[in-house]
A and B are shown apart, each in its own frame.
Chain A
């Protein structure tokens, strides 16, 4: 099974800050890495797919990078609506299945 880890598990930041979240896979997953944002009481929302492709409608302050085992999600200038939990997800093992990382909670400093 491919295991996903994220760091940090939580962070506090201010509006306007640059925020970087890291996701690591237990084996190479090429670029089969997706990022989701989840706000309390809501379903997750796709932000980034295939490691670096921005989903339609997602603000350009969100970006993704990486390949192999190490990936990052960057928010270039944190906005009030970005306070949420972010999950990475590997889809390398599709169709056998896919797994999510444990999440990174971004809250207000």
Chain B
């Protein structure tokens, strides 16, 4: 069974870059067939798709975040990563990494990691 685990700083200063990594176990990112996603949830709010990457490196981003987001993949480490630049308090959220199908169904989720933006 594929498992995903987010890691990275829980506190980021305003204007800096938020960086998170998702480690995938129980399956290989490079086997193909799935999109590897980042989704966030502001405290007490709903879910917001950030973007996703295919093992080949093809990426798709939420237009509202596109100018600040970079998602990358390291197949040798079976990891994919999120960078969100110029963060503000509005980027404080629980960040989930996830695995989805070609049809956009999110079938596996990490446990989520809270990132707080504060000085």
Contact = CB atoms under 8 A, between A and B. Distances in A.
Interface residues of B, number: 22
Interface in B95-119: 96, 102-107, 109-112
Given A43-B109, A43-B110, A98 B104 contact: yes
B16 to A, nearest CB: 26
* Chain A interface helix/strand/loop/mixed: loop
Interface string A20-61: 000000000000101010000011111001100001000000
A95 interface: yes
A20 to B, nearest CB: 20
B34 to A, nearest CB: 12
Contacts of B63: 1, 97
Contacts of A44: 47, 96, 106, 109
Interface stretch (A11-19, A64-72, A73-81, A100-108): A100-108
A13 to B, nearest CB: 21
A89 B106 contact: yes
A101 B104 contact: no
Contacts of B47: 36, 44, 87, 89, 100, 103
Nearest to B98: A43
Nearest to A96: B60
Interface of B: 35, 46-49, 51-52, 60-63, 96, 102-107, 109-112
Interface of A: 1, 32, 34, 36, 42-46, 49-50, 55, 87, 89-103
